[in-house]
Structure 1
Amino acid sequence: MTTSLATPAPWEERERRRRRRDALTSWALLAPTLVLIALLVGYPGVTMIWQSFTDYQVRNKIQGTAPEIVGLDNYVALMTQSDFPEVVARTIGIMVVTTALVMAGGVLVAILMTKLATGMRIAVSVGLLLAWAIPPLTATVVWGFIFDTQYGLVNWALNTLTGTQNWHNHSWLINPWTFFLVLTIIVVWGAIPFVAFTTYAALGQVPAETLEAAQLDGAAGRKRFWYVVFPAIRPVLGGLLILQIIWNMKLFTQVYALQSRGGIAADTNVLPVYLFRQGIGDFGATSAIGVVMVIIMLALSWYNIRLMLREDKG
């Protein structure tokens, strides 16, 4: 009697072996991905954190000498620099504005695409694909010509509309506020297609029966969106929001290209460009800036990440 209770039943043993085999198979399939993540993300991340606590510079690499541990000196020097808090505030401000406009514009375009006829929907899709396919540097150059001081289309249009020459030789990039206006246009124009296509695909997964039932219950279009459509696509919008926060915190190409066309770097730097200009070869100081950037992005994205994980568990 005791032996029969201690010995597992045959089906239990088979189930245990199956689970063990499935676990080993899953880990075997995940192993290449985990190795790539460790090599491409883990190792550089750990190296950056370690270097941020040292005085590692190019001379150490050339001479083959080990850097000295300086503790928090790089972070203290960074936080006490007069321009760093301004650069952080500027970066977050640009991120908030561009992310809000991209998300709102992308969702509105996606909703519009659901209402268009097939021909118009194809035309809008092609236009979005063209805008999305243009590399950021190329798009910045094109928009730079549009806002050019002497030959820009915007200055010509404003002179034509006002009947004056007040906008002749007007520089849009030398003033920080108009610089960021042009930057916002470039970023939003290039990022809306991704949000629009992704949201449009998510809208296609909302059950038509649910929308019809809400309409029969008397729910207007706005109420149907907020109480039926929005809850269904909220996980997708959450993922898009996290991506936009990260991408718009890492703006480099557009800012650097506009600065080279006439923007004042000291007044228009954002964190990635600031890191690049801060000290090429001073790996300790630049690593500290990188760590601060990662912390800010994680802090800004943490709420949405937790919300997505909670919905997945639910």
Structure 2
Amino acid sequence: MTSLTQAAPTTARTGQPVRGRRLARFTPYGLIGPAVIAFAAVLGYPLVRLVWLSVQDFGPRSLFTGEAPFVGLGNFSRVLGDADFWHVLLRTLIVSVGCVVSMMVLGFLLASLLRLVSNWARVMLSVCLVLIWAMPMVSASMIWRWLFEPQYGVLNWVITQLHVFGDFSAHDWFSSPGQALFLIIVLIVWKGLPFIALTLYAAMGQIPDDLYEASALDGAGRWSTARHVTLPILGPVLAVLVLLEVIWSVNSFTPFWVLTQGGPDGGTTTLGVYSYLEAFTRNDYGGGAAIAIVTVVLLAVLAVLYVRRLIASGEVTA
């Protein structure tokens, strides 16, 4: 009898860690559960509706009758068989690569500069970066439009006053696809640069100073230190930033629409603009939805391959 009463507390005590471990196993799911539910509620239905719309022949007639015949993969076959789609896809890839490479290089240099300047200069520069990042893209695009306006643009006036490149008083920057695309890329880089710079600056602050001191004792210069110390340690952060910027660059819509609406002659049309034009200009809502689904699939495949490559190389652990 005495042995049984003594064994009961022992069993209870040993059971508590087991229940604690079981509870700890489900704690992460409980923490991310509300975010997953909110994400599914906000984006779940639109995504399902978009998928369903992409397999329907939904045109202007469907808006009045409510009838949209099921066409299966017909919209996808038509979109992928269109030569314009592949031109737009190539242009989107070129824009994305240009934006991401520019932002990563300039962001790293700007983050390094933040570590070298004095405290007051760092604060002022950080405030300017945050203000740029906080500005809505629509407002930034409108300001960009005014800066490069042919008749009253500030840039044209400055270039004309320099008397170096001739008279630019009536030069229309957005009449040439090459110039318009370049200006849009510059705008996207300018708008996204603060996020990259401030994130890398915060990550650089976590690198121990001992590593830099050891590198200096070995006689390494700034470039060697950045190459062999800073960049390897920042590898996981850089990997996440590259992936995010690729997604954001491909999905960029506002600067293209506000500045050129995909023109001139479709020279600045990217996948986001192409999907919008297909749906709301040509009234082919099924085709526009198919283009959007193709964009999502391409980004998902790219993200999976990119992450798997990073895991295989050891830069990011699973």
TM beyond 0.5: yes
Shift of 1:301: 3.0
Shift of 1:11: 6.4
Partners of 2:174 and 2:180 within 8 A in 1: yes
Q: Deviations over 1:11-50 (max 9, x none)?
A: 6644332222223444333322222222233433333223
1:250-289 alignment runs, 5 A limit: 250-259=251-260, 263-264=263-264, 266-280=266-280, 282-289=284-291
Indicate the SS of the match to 2:171.
Answer: coil
Indicate the SS of the match to 2:175.
Answer: coil
Shift of 1:235: 0.9
Q: Deviations over 1:173-202 (max 9, x none)?
A: 010000011111211111111100000000
Indicate the SS of the match to 1:170.
Answer: coil
Q: Deviations over 1:82-127 (max 9, x none)?
A: 3211111111111110111111111100001111011221221122
Q: Does 1:295 align with 2:297?
A: yes
Deviates more, 1:20-29 or 1:123-132: 20-29
Question: Which amino acid is the alignment partner of residue 206 of structure 1?
Answer: I
Indicate the SS of the match to 1:313.
Answer: coil
Indicate the SS of the match to 1:218.
Answer: coil
Shift of 1:232: 1.2
Question: Which amino acid is the alignment partner of residue 87 of structure 1?
Answer: V
Distance 2:11 2:146 in 1: 77
- The change in CA–CA distance for 1:279 and 1:45 in structure 2 (over 3 A counts) is closer
- Hey, what does 2:4 align to over in structure 1? none
- Hey, what does 2:151 align to over in structure 1? 150
- Hey, what does 2:250 align to over in structure 1? 249
Partners of 2:263 and 2:269 within 8 A in 1: no
Question: Which amino acid is the alignment partner of residue 256 of structure 2?
Answer: V
The percentage of aligned residue pairs carrying the same residue is 31
Deviates more, 1:163-172 or 1:201-210: 163-172
- Hey, what does 1:313 align to over in structure 2? 317
- Hey, what does 1:39 align to over in structure 2? 41
Instruction: Report the RMSD for the aligned CA atoms in angstroms.
Output: 2.4
Question: Which amino acid is the alignment partner of residue 264 of structure 1?
Answer: P
Distance 1:89 1:189 in 2: 23
Partners of 1:102 and 1:188 within 8 A in 2: yes
Shift of 1:57: 4.1
Distance 1:24 1:234 in 2: 30
1:211-226 alignment runs, 5 A limit: 211-226=212-227
- Hey, what does 1:4 align to over in structure 2? none
- Hey, what does 2:31 align to over in structure 1? 29
- The change in CA–CA distance for 1:220 and 1:174 in structure 2 (over 3 A counts) is same
Partners of 2:278 and 2:285 within 8 A in 1: no
Instruction: Give the alignment's TM-score, normalised by structure 1.
Output: 0.88
Deviates more, 1:79-88 or 1:172-181: 79-88
Shift of 1:167: 1.9
